[in-house]
Every structure is written in structure tokens, then in C-alpha cells.
Amino acid sequence: MKKRILIVGVAIGILLIFSYCQNNNLSTSTFILSSENITKPIKVVQLSDLHSKQFGKKQKRLIKKVKQLAPDIIAFTGDLVDSKKYDERKSMTLMEELVQIAPTYYVTGNHESWSGKFPQLEEKLLQTGVYVLRNEQMLVNIGGETINLIGVDDPTFLSGEDEVAAIVGSQYHEEYFNLLLSHRPELLSHYEKMDLVLTGHAHGGQVRLPFIGGVVAPDQGFMPEYTAGMYKKEETVMIVNRGLGNSIIPQRIFNRPEIVEVVLK
């Protein structure tokens, strides 16, 4: 009897440690892309889907990882907050630290819309020095290299997917490398002409199975097509960030929180 209790106790302990590591141990994924419109290397660090999660006091562990990557710019692709467990302080603490590392660009996610509190969050982001891109583009000079950086709102702020496509198409600039920040990977067909699209939203499929990939994702359902890593449609490359936090489902499995590093050459 005592032996069984010991075995059960050890098993529970192992599961708890596994659960903690899967939800809190940060991972970094690196992608290297080449383009005729890029003559000098540019490093972009992308974060997504924090959902007001905290990685150490004042986001210390996450900030340390980002600093070590020494990015030229930082992109945050939506769901900075969570509509159900809204905690603006944790989210703003991260952004306040990120702007000290590199210019930081942000686009909205569905949870910003669902929270009903985005106007006040947007004001604080702007005051902090974050570039909030809402259906607009900026020509960004990075060490003498210029890229066309575009940001589109989550469809919950718009009239629908067709408006996303119209906005993206109107911001395209043939002369420069076009980098689009958007929350939704399932809208890849609407990102025509973009050189690179950075997205999130899918949470890596929440549970990832060997040789199969993600199991379930928002707006894609079971066995989703776009959950993590790099995808290509004609000339457009899309990278899907697995995200940092959780929303409806509180547990990640074989799907640790992710920082994405993109090196453009």
C-alpha cells in the first residue's frame, strides 16, 4: 500500500513539474530569410499572445531572453491582454521594458477587442513609446536599410476578413521589403504580395503531437492548418508564433511559450 502511494505521489510530482515547464520555460525559434530588397542584415524579434501572463517579477525572465537576442526591432502581434483575466499592469510592464531594448511595434488581437478596454490600453501604449499600427504602414529605417512595416487590426475591430485584405493590399510598397504584422494566421490568403507576415493567435495548437502538430486552434478548430513555424503561399512567407500565454485552455503540452527571432538578409 505504501509503495503504491509513493508511486502515485512521484507520478503526480512529475506531472506537476512537466506542466510547469510546458507553460513557463521559454523557447526561442530562429528563422533566416533572404530577399533582394534587403542588403544589410536586420533582426526582428516577435512576441505574441501574452494574455497578461507573467514570466518572473516585472517580466524579468522574458526581458532577459529578448535582450540577449539584440533585436533591431521588436514586433508584438496581438492578445497582449486577456479579456477574461484582464491584467493591464503585467502587460504594460512588458511593453515598458521592451521599448528600452529596441523600437517596438504592436498590432491588436481579438482579446483587446473583446475586453472592451482597448482605448485606455492604446493610450498607455502610445505614452510608453510603443508604435501602435492600426491599418497603416511606416517606412522604417534600420541601420541604413528601409523596410515597409505594415500593421492591420484584428478582424474583430473591422467589418470582416474582406476589409483586412483591402487594407493590406493598399499598404503594399513595391520598392521596399514588405513586413506585415497581423494577429491571424488563418487569413494567409488575404496577405498577398507581402514578403513576410508575422502572426500569432493559434497558440501552437495548444497541444502538439509528434509528426502531427497542433491539435486545436482558435478560428481553425481541430487539426488546424497554421499553428507554428513557417508557411509559404506563392511569394509570401508567414511565420506563426506559438505565443506566450494561455486563454481558454490553461495547459500547453509539448508546446512551450515561444520567442521568434527572424534574421532578414
Dump pLDDT digits (tens) for 35-55: 999 999 999 999 999 999 999
User: pLDDT-based confidence at 238, cuts 50/70/90?
Assistant: very high
User: pLDDT-based confidence at 15, cuts 50/70/90?
Assistant: confident
pLDDT exceeds cutoff 80 at 11 = no
**What whole-number distance in Å separates Cα of residue 55 and Cα of residue 58?**
8
161 to each of 52, 111, 151, 204, 219, how far by Cα in Å? 26, 17, 15, 22, 12
Residue 178 near residue 148 (C-beta atoms within 8 A) = yes
With 0-12 / 13-18 / 19 or more C-beta atoms within 10 angstroms meaning exposed / middle / buried, residue 106 is: buried
pLDDT of residue 97: 98
Q: What share of the chain is helix, strand, coil (3-state, %, to 5)?
A: 30, 30, 40
Task: Name the percent of the chain lying above pLDDT 70.
Answer: 98
Over residues 65-69, mean pLDDT: 98
Tell me what the pLDDT averaged over the chain comes to: 95
User: pLDDT-based confidence at 236, cuts 50/70/90?
Assistant: very high
Q: In sequence order, what DSSP letters do the residues of 194-205 get, joined into one string?
A: -SEEEE--SGGG
pLDDT of residue 2: 75
Q: Which residue has the cell 508564433?
A: 241
Q: What is the pLDDT of residues 174-217, one digit of tens each?
A: 999 999 999 999 999 999 999 999 999 999 999 999 989 999 99
Q: What is the pLDDT of residues 18-40, one digit of tens each?
A: 888 999 999 999 999 999 999 99
Q: What is the pLDDT of residues 116-126, one digit of tens each?
A: 999 999 999 99
Q: What is the pLDDT of residues 81-107, one digit of tens each?
A: 999 999 999 999 999 999 999 999 999
Enter the C-alpha cell of residue 121.
490600453
CA dihedral 249, 165, 105, 29 (to 10 degrees): 50
Q: In sequence order, what DSSP letters do the residues of 13-54 get, joined into one string?
A: HHHHHHHHHHHH--EEEEEEE--TT--S-EEEEEE---TT--
Enter the C-alpha cell of residue 200.
500569432
**What whole-number distance in Å separates Cα of residue 237 and Cα of residue 197?**
6
Residue 228 near residue 204 (C-beta atoms within 8 A) = yes
pLDDT exceeds cutoff 80 at 6 = no
pLDDT of residue 94: 98
Residue 187 near residue 144 (C-beta atoms within 8 A) = no
Lowest mean pLDDT among 65-69, 97-101, 143-147: 143-147
pLDDT of residue 69: 98
Residue 234, H or E segment = none
pLDDT of residue 208: 97
Over residues 59-64, mean pLDDT: 98
Residue 233 near residue 194 (C-beta atoms within 8 A) = no
Enter the C-alpha cell of residue 216.
486545436
Global pTM exceeds 0.75 = yes
| Topology of the domain comprising 2-264 | Purple Acid Phosphatase; chain A, domain 2 (3.60.21)
Q: Where are the beta strands (DSSP E) in 145-248?
A: 145-151, 177-181, 196-199, 208-209, 213-214, 216-217, 221-222, 229-233, 236-240
Residue 69 near residue 259 (C-beta atoms within 8 A) = yes
pLDDT of residue 26: 98
